[in-house]
Amino acid sequence: NAGVMQNPRHLVRRRGQEARLRCSPMKGHSHVYWYRQLPEEGLKFMVYLQKENIIDESGMPKERFSAEFPKEGPSILRIQQVVRGDSAAYFCASSPRTSEDTIYFGEGSWLTVV
Amino acid sequence: QKEVEQNSGPLSVPEGAIASLNCTYSDRGSQSFFWYRQYSGKSPELIMFIYSNGDKEDGRFTAQLNKASQYVSLLIRDSQPSDSATYLCAVNGANTGGFKTIFGAGTRLFVKA
């Protein structure tokens, strides 16, 4: 499967725990984007990364959220001390050579905070 | 003003009719424009992209772009019940540090059999 791979697909966390969401871009893609979608709402841009670099994190909440895309391995979106309002679908997308290219989405990770 | 605005709908059309979905954007520096379809509980899937003013056709879908009016539309001909979904308009434009794709809130389309 050459598509964008996300895991876990579903994650349940208690308030105060940490959530880690992983994303492997499509083969040959070097740009990764994370979006959040709250129930019945649109996709909100969170962060744009290239290997070992955060290009744009203007959509990331100032606290508790962080993202990385290491030289080796998947991109990781980390949410510390989760709260109920973090419950959402988190979509990763990737694009090929430039950020102007079309972005392709993974299947998403659904986070539920109880 | 939102960066990308869409009528949330729902838009309801009978089977076989033309569905017209509209979108406006605020950043005049935007370069690329996309339409995605999202079924409930699923991830967005790309339907079309358009870069130049005018029309672009792909099967039953036609995207229209007017950069002067900052307006993008999607026409779906011969609408089918399987077209019932949320349609997301997306715009990619220059921003400090590079380009990023911004999405509208989406328009819900219902095609009645």
* Tens-place pLDDT, residues A2-14: 799 999 999 999 9
How far away is chain B from the Cα of A55, in angstroms, using its nearest Cα? 6
Scanning the structure block, which residue is given the tokens 């871009």? A25
pLDDT confidence bin for B113, thresholds 50/70/90? very high
B45, B86, B101: best to mutate for the A interface, most A CBs within 10 A: B101
Mean pLDDT (chain B, rounded): 91
Mean pLDDT value across residues B16-34: 92
User: Closest partner residue to B98 among A44, A99, A108, by Cβ?
Assistant: A99
| Beta-strand runs (E) in A25-108 | 31-37, 43-50, 53-56, 65-68, 75-79, 88-95, 104-105
How far away is chain B from the Cα of A43, in angstroms, using its nearest Cα? 6
Is A45's CB within 8 Å of B99's CB? no
How far, in Å, CA of B74 to CA of A75, rounded?
Answer: 33
B43, B56, B108: best to mutate for the A interface, most A CBs within 10 A: B43
Q: Which residue of B has its CA nearest to A3?
A: B45
pLDDT at res. A94: 93
**How many alpha carbons fall within 13 Å on the CB side of residue B106?**
21
A9 Cβ contact list (under 8 Å, min separation 6) = A107, A108, A109, A110
Is B99's CB within 8 Å of A102's CB? no
pLDDT in tens, A55-94: 889 999 989 999 999 999 999 999 999 999 999 999 999 9
Q: Which two tokens stand for residue A100?
A: 């102007």
How far, in Å, CA of B89 to CA of B25, rounded?
Answer: 9
